Copies of this chain bind each other. A is one copy, B any other.
């Protein structure tokens, strides 16, 4: 799919409690649109073996992160499970300048900060079907102990309350259906008249009649 030219890039902001399937769904979304770019966050947490610096995150030490905060280089940042995560203004400005649509996979705190300055952004919340299923998914990962799972469940509860102010809610009860809904949201938002009005200018221009 090709981006329609001459319009501002759209910010697609996706949040979800852990275990809702956000990471996999975001990857599917990136794979479905050649002209949708994943925004890479800065993170102070330990790099996992499967991850690559500059691809999964810009891994950085807490001191550098604090300097970025102090120098107002971040469009949003948040502390999640004891680690710092943030999106640099440079990432957003570069995409905007190039008219590129950007996908931000960030938590509720960060999304709420972005909502203030980027009201034209598209805010999507992915929900687990219910708490029982969420608990089952978190437990089946086998990577976290019981206390971590309980903390994540507690956080999920608080995050789901936040879901109300998002533009779209997508329930991940069936993976294919959730994937199709996300793809539909990107496709539909690109057709919104406030983003396509320049096409009308072309159609109503004297030269075209």
Partner-B contacts on A (CB < 8 A): 125, 127-128, 130-131, 157, 160-161, 163-171, 180-181, 183-185, 187-189, 191-193, 196-197, 199-200, 202-204, 208-209
- With known contacts A181-B188, A184-B187, A189-B188, A199–B127 Cβ distance under 8 A: yes
| Cβ B168 vs Cβ A191 within 8 A | yes
Residues of B within 8 A of A185 (CB): 184, 187-188, 191
Pick the contact of A203: B160, B181, B188, B189 (CB < 8 A): B160
Q: By CB atoms of chain B within 10 A, which of A181, A189, A203 has the most?
A: A203
| Cβ A181 vs Cβ B187 within 8 A | yes
- Nearest CB in chain B: distance from A20 CB, A: 11
Residues of B within 8 A of A180 (CB): 187
Residues of B within 8 A of A157 (CB): 204, 209
The chain B residue sitting closest to A203, CB to CB, is B160
For the complex, give the distance between the alpha carbons of A92 and B63 in Å: 60
List 12 other contacts, CB 8 Å, given A164-B197, A164-B200, A171-B196.
A127-B203, A131-B203, A131-B209, A166-B193, A168-B191, A169-B196, A170-B191, A171-B199, A181-B188, A184-B191, A185-B187, A185-B188
Pick the contact of A184: B184, B200, B204 (CB < 8 A): B184
| Cβ A200 vs Cβ B168 within 8 A | no
Q: By CB atoms of chain B within 10 A, which of A131, A160, A168 has the most?
A: A168
Residues of B within 8 A of A128 (CB): 203
The chain B residue sitting closest to A194, CB to CB, is B167
Pick the contact of A188: B166, B171, B188 (CB < 8 A): B188
